[in-house]
Amino acid sequence: MKNVFRLVLCAVLLVLFVSPINLVFARAFNNDFETGDLTDWEKTGTAFDFQPTWGDNPTARNRGQPSEHQGDWWLGLAEKYQGPVKGKALGQNPGDLADGVDAPQGTLTSKEFTIIGDTMNFLMGGGNRAWGTAEPCCVNLVIDEKVERTMTGNNTETMTRREWDVSDLNGKLAKLVVIDNSSGGWGHPNFDDVHQADRNGNNIPWSRVAAVDARGKLALTWAQMKKYY
């Protein structure tokens, strides 16, 4: 009976290993918040209570600084509009400001992923309050609890495409941490649409990153199985 089980197990694992994407473990990362929620991210504090936000809210209130977000959803921590369905049900309107605007603080940490690209790019806006200062508002790339890269906005609601060189970090497990530790003026970050890219600047599908991560999980699972069978 044990031999039969081993044969079946080997056949299943063979299919999973040769598949381009392991459907059990590989799931694309919520890199642009188009789920309309914080799937794949974990928040602390209250700064992210009404995130992600929907649509160009700065323009809706005539701010003169369009968000330039990708898709429908993005992180805009001064905003309090969660879209035409949830937002409307909660009595929110396009352009509404968050309670206390810059007062709330908190962090948002992504799930771990493997760095396989040469660069990482993303949309960044909001306050210019750097990591290492008293009240940072930024996004950090963290590996083994160490901040390896960091970026801030430029004191405008308008996000622009920013980039890190991560070629020296290839193969490492990393997390993104969006930080709002300020309650002063421009005490909020804006963030959206993060990608890894190859040496030619072509964005790498997150499904490929997830497949790399899945291979590691499969290897661990197989090692555990061999221990008992």
For domain 29-204, the CATH architecture is Sandwich (2.60)
The tens place of each residue's pLDDT in the chain, 229 residues long, gives: 555 445 444 444 444 444 444 443 346 899 999 999 999 999 999 999 999 999 999 999 999 999 999 999 999 999 999 999 999 999 999 999 999 999 999 999 999 999 999 999 999 999 999 999 999 999 999 999 999 999 999 999 999 999 999 999 999 999 999 999 999 999 999 999 999 999 999 999 999 998 887 765 544 333 433 332 3
Retrieve residue 159's tokens.
């996000």
| Residue 229: count of CB within 10 angstroms of its CB | 10
Q: Where are the domains of the chain?
A: 1-28+213-229, 29-204
Q: DSSP for 126-175?
A: E--B-TTSSS-EEEEEEETTEEEEEE---SEEEEEEEEEE-GGGTT-EEE
3-state secondary structure of 120: strand
**pTM passes above 0.75:** yes
Q: Is there a cis peptide before residue 52, judged by omega within 30 degrees of 0? A: yes
Q: Please tell me the distance from the alpha carbon of residue 68 to that of residue 74, in angstroms, as a whole number.
A: 10
| Residue found by looking up tokens 């929620």 in the block | 37
The pLDDT assigned to 214 comes to: 72
Retrieve residue 100's tokens.
């206390």
